[in-house]
């Protein structure tokens, strides 16, 4: 096999060897479907039965920018790009009904990478019951780009927007904060030969796994909507920045609970140190837990109350921590 111009460096089969029909055949053969998919992959478009308004969102990952091959497998990338999309649907109170997947890659990309990417997509698709209904393939001179468009429905009928928070409400998060950022920090330190002590290695490995393949409980989105959430989004850019988006859209102030933030940061402190631990909780992105506001007493079981809303006052909307306005720009802004 070595010496064939169209095989990869290791002599393995490439996308160029397989051809578009072969790749699509490979990919769609592994995927499941639902009754709502009236026409699936293979025709000019898919046809999906719907019973109401349709949610639509899209998210793209680019090799070298959104992931590094040294840190993330193709399986990780496939799973993560789907989760990111489904988290956006959940953040409206929605559930996914269909996924459209686009892969742009050079012909020299190992076919095995594309298969593992598909396995990652298929895993989340099967776990969440959201079928892949179509996709596209295109070639590039070197860039590898994976893009997913997700369609969804609203079980509760009405979306939860970012703009519905009012003063006197509770601010809560559906899952972890800072875990993805902590994992990324571990990877960065590992890059220069650093790894936590044996005592904490298992914990740190869990953060790394969550960074590469986050698995937030997205059923909490519709649950929060049903429970009366007044505003919601998924934490993609950090508690302070994303909280700031709810604050700005709703015209309120979000006051974070200093003790809760400290308690959450304590989990990371033995490995990352106090300063970085706090930064993970306040500014850690790609977490995809849901952040929502609820009327007092309406926070669902399992959610963590991290603060409350108050009137914006003359200083205007924003996120407050330790009595000052916090911004998402970095540690210095958190008044450490
Ligand atoms: Mg989002």
Q: What's the CA-to-centroid distance between 94 and ligand 1, angstroms? A: 12
> What does pTM read for this prediction?
0.93
Any idea what DSSP says for residue 285?
A: -
Residues 213 and 173 occupy one common structural domain: yes
Q: What's the CA-to-centroid distance between 189 and ligand 1, angstroms? A: 28
- With respect to residue 59, please indicate whether it lies within any of the assigned structural domains: yes
Rounded-to-integer distance, Cα 168 and Cα 308, Å: 7
* Side-chain-facing half-sphere of 225: CA atoms under 13 Å: 22
Q: What's the CA-to-centroid distance between 8 and ligand 1, angstroms? A: 37
pLDDT at 335: 44
Residues 112 and 181 occupy one common structural domain: no
Last residue of a domain, one of 153, 179, 201: 153
pLDDT at 280: 97
pLDDT at 10: 57
Residues 292 and 186 occupy one common structural domain: yes
- CB count, 10 Å around CB of 305? 13
Q: What's the CA-to-centroid distance between 195 and ligand 1, angstroms? A: 31
Whose CA is closest to 89, among 231, 197, 198, 234?
234
pLDDT at 262: 97
pLDDT at 35: 92
Host domain of residue 231: 169-334
Q: What's the CA-to-centroid distance between 15 and ligand 1, angstroms? A: 32
* Side-chain-facing half-sphere of 24: CA atoms under 13 Å: 17
Last residue of a domain, one of 153, 186, 207: 153
Domain CATH for 67: 3.30.1330.10
Positions of the chain with pLDDT lower than 50, given as ranges: 1-8, 330-336
């Amino acid at each position: 096999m070595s010496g064939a111009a169209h095989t990869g460096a290791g002599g393995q089969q490439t996308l160029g060897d397989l051809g578009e029909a072969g790749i699509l055949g490979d990919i769609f053969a592994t995927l499941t479907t639902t009754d709502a998919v009236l026409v699936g992959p293979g025709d000019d478009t898919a046809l999906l039965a719907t019973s109401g308004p349709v949610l639509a969102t899209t998210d793209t990952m680019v090799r070298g920018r959104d992931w590094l091959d040294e840190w993330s497998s193709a399986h990780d990338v496939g799973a993560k790009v789907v989760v990111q999309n489904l988290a956006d649907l959940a953040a409206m109170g929605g559930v996914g009904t269909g996924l459209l997947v686009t892969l742009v890659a050079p012909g020299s990309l190992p076919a095995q990478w594309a298969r593992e990417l598909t396995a990652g997509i298929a895993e989340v698709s099967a776990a969440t019951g959201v079928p892949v209904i179509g996709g596209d393939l295109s070639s590039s001179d070197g860039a590898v780009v994976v893009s997913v468009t997700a369609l969804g429905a609203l079980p509760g009928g009405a979306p939860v927007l970012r703009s519905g928070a009012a003063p006197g409400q509770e601010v809560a998060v559906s899952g972890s904060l800072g875990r993805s950022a902590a994992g990324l920090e571990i990877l960065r330190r590992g890059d220069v030969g650093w790894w936590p002590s044996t005592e904490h290695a298992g914990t740190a490995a869990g953060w790394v796994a969550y960074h590469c393949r986050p698995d937030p409980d997205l059923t909490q989105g519709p649950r929060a909507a049903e429970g009366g959430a007044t505003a919601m989004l998924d934490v993609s850019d950090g508690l302070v920045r994303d909280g700031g988006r709810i604050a700005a859209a709703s015209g309120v102030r979000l006051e974070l609970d200093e003790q809760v933030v400290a308690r959450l940061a304590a989990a990371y402190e033995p490995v990352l140190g106090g300063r970085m631990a706090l930064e993970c909780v306040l500014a850690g992105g790609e977490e995809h837990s849901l952040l929502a506001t609820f009327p007092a007493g309406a926070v669902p079981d399992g959610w963590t109350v991290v603060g409350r809303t108050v009137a914006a006052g003359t200083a205007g909307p924003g996120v407050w921590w330790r009595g000052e306005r916090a911004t998402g720009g970095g540690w210095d802004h958190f008044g450490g």
